[in-house]
Chains A and B, each alone.
Chain A
Amino acid sequence: MARSRSRSFITTEKPTTYDEDQFALPNLNSNWVYYKGAWLVHIILIICVKILFSSVPGVSSETSWTLTNLSYMLGSFVMFHWVKGIPFDFNSGAYDGLTLWEQIDNGAQFTPAKKYLTALPIGLFLLSTHYTHYDAITFLVNFTFLLVVLIAKLPQLHKVRLFGINQLEVE
């Protein structure tokens, strides 16, 4: 049965009859998140992006920090909270309705990987405010983007879709 897009403010991904499929095989799509090397890559990428933006002539320290912040927040949001399912046919579509963040540790909350990935954007934001003199608007832009990423990571929003955005259509 096809489900028409819900009009309510908050909807929850309903459990499917084949949820046990999620435990039939390891989830190769989310396993890499636990690797310490992958943790390091986040930092390396942030540094690279910062250097890239700083090296553009005429870009102030505020702009380069803001751009770094924005690219990390946007990139991680798309990767962890927007794209759903698995790009490979490993689990017969058992994870079709779940974002990567929901797939990590099979949905367990406050695991080391999730703690690290939550602390990282906060650290990045604090670092950027320390080294710059944001005016009110730039500060607000940076802060809003951080807030969006943090809210998406909250355990209360596990499998929750706001305004029916990004909901799975097929049951």
Chain B
Amino acid sequence: METTYPSLSELFVFLNTTLTQISIYYSHIPGSGILIKYIKNSHQDDPFRTILELLLVFFAIIYLFTNKYRTVNKLIELTPQEVEELVDEWQPEPLVPQLSDDDIKEFDKIPIINGPQGSRVKLINGKSLLNISSFDFLGLLSYESTKEKTIKTLREYGVGSCGPPGFYGTIDVHTEFERKISEFLGTEDTILYSQGFSTINSAIPSFCKRGDIIVADEGCNFSIQKGLQISRSIIKWYKHNNMEDLERVLRKIKDEDIETGRRLTRRFIVSEGLFANYGDITPLPKLIELKKKFKYRLILDESLSFGTLGKRGTGLTDYFDIDPNDVDMIVGSMCYSLGSSGGFCSGSFEITEHQRISGPAYCYSASLPAMLAVAATESLKLLKQNPGLPLALKYNTALFKQLLNNIKYLLLNGSQDSPVIHLRIDEEIVRVGDISDKEKCLQDVVDEATNNGILLTRAKYNRSQELFNIEPSIRICINASFTKKEIEKVASVIKNAAAKVLRNRVH
């Protein structure tokens, strides 16, 4: 089959007429002249530039007409059927979880006190006990004058403060307490928190954020651990109370700084004054020397040491005779020695003022009830009026430690002056298994002591949440209000109980 091709001239004629036709149609579009003029003007006898510009226009058009998409958290599209299946599969957890056998045993062992808390308590079965597990070290809980004043405040101000401190929650009694505690500690200013536990884990993240470096003691309590976690900072741990290790960690960070040339961020050292989990005192003079040498700021949790250590009972700075302004932030609690509730952070005016707008627990929690603030102020007044209280505590502690010096089966941990004492099983003498076995042994000692008129307690932890493994222990808190006779009784009961329970487990 033969096809007739159009001749070349015919093709040109066809193309020409088509183009002319198109340009005529195009000139009918309104505004088309402008574009022609623009291209003619821009062309400037350089086709290369025109092509580049056209490419840019194409790029812009493609970019403008591309659909939006997410780069993170791509949403999963589910069909209604899949949604239905997921809903059917879902089994709600019970509101109150079933108690395990261990839980039931644990709860059964918890003694219930009938009447007020104090150094001498009465159980619901009518038994009178000496309470050697209370954090009320100075016995300030049982002062009648404080009780009367607190009840009077309750009648005057009501129960709650009904607002966060920044929003109508602050009243005269709060500012008065802040002023008194600053006076007592010798610091510039103090901020009052409504819970002791959330004081330090609010103070730490209010200053630290991601990229900052915090060097912390491995023995720090649970509250500090949570504060460090919330801050998202880089956490470096040093061995418990080991200043050589602290210096090693600080030096390593400094070397890394020089090596990588990274930007300088905020640096903090966090430690506890008197360790709740170990009952020993941090060597503050060395700590301050290192902090100054490596240019760090120091956050010191004085929850337990406040009221118990030092001649005046102001805590570790008093104990070591150090200017409190050398410690950048002193964090304390009113739950312990002051026998009230709440916490405080003391330091320079800038430090407290910053927390008033950025401390989570200060901004988002209702302020301390007026009566508790008054109770704390009263206790503080009593502490000032009775300078013998911390001394009596020191005396009782020394006496107790001397009496327990030759205890068998148990180890006496902690610093000499610490009123918090942890008794741990001496594994060289006693044969024990894992942690739950040790806890069981210690619980038996506690029960035996309770039968003999001493209210003891094991130190209890949320072990799934704790960062470091802590050996089970019996925690003893010496009270200043005990007489010499009572201390002797406590010591002998504990010795006998330990001997009775642990004797048949000797290697």
Interface residues, chain A, with chain B CB atoms under 8 Å away: 2-5, 16, 18-19, 21-23, 89, 92-94, 96, 106-111, 115, 118-119, 122-123, 125-126, 129-130, 133, 139, 143, 146, 150, 155, 158-159, 169-170
Contact = CB atoms under 8 A, between A and B. Distances in A.
A115 B72 CA distance: 19
Contacts of A123: 60
B210 A139 contact: no
Query: Which of A21, A92, A123 has the largest number of chain B CB atoms within 10 A?
Result: A92
Contact of B68 (A4, A89, A108, A133): A108
B265 interface: yes
Contact of B63 (A21, A94, A115, A139): A115
A110 B209 contact: no
Interface stretch (B37-45, B194-202, B293-301, B480-488): B37-45
A70 B358 CA distance: 41
Contact of A107 (B38, B71, B232, B234): B71
Given A21-B232, A93-B209, A122-B56, 10 more contacts: A4-B259, A23-B73, A92-B205, A92-B210, A96-B211, A109-B68, A110-B66, A118-B63, A125-B56, A169-B260
A156 to B, nearest CB: 11
Contacts of B57: 122, 126
Nearest to A171: B234
Contacts of A22: 72
22 contacts: A2-B259, A3-B260, A16-B210, A18-B232, A23-B73, A89-B358, A92-B231, A93-B211, A94-B210, A106-B70, A107-B72, A110-B69, A123-B60, A126-B42, A126-B53, A129-B53, A133-B44, A150-B59, A169-B260, A169-B262, A170-B234, A170-B265
A110 to B, nearest CB: 5
Contact of A19 (B72, B211, B231): B72
A134 to B, nearest CB: 8
Nearest to A170: B211
B78 interface: no
Contacts of A94: 210
A110 B53 CA distance: 22
Contacts, number: 90
Nearest to B73: A23
A110 B210 CA distance: 30
B255 to A, nearest CB: 10
A108 B70 contact: yes
B105 interface: no
Given A2-B256, A2-B262, A96-B211, A122 B73 contact: no
Contact of B260 (A4, A92, A107, A125): A4
A83 to B, nearest CB: 13
A130 B57 CA distance: 14
Given A115-B64, A118-B60, A122-B60, A106 B52 contact: no
Contacts of B70: 106-109
Contact of A119 (B49, B60, B256, B260): B60
A130 B72 contact: no
B262 A170 contact: yes
Interface string B52-91: 1100110110011011111111000000000000000000
A106 B72 contact: yes
Nearest to A122: B60
B265 A130 contact: no
Nearest to A119: B60
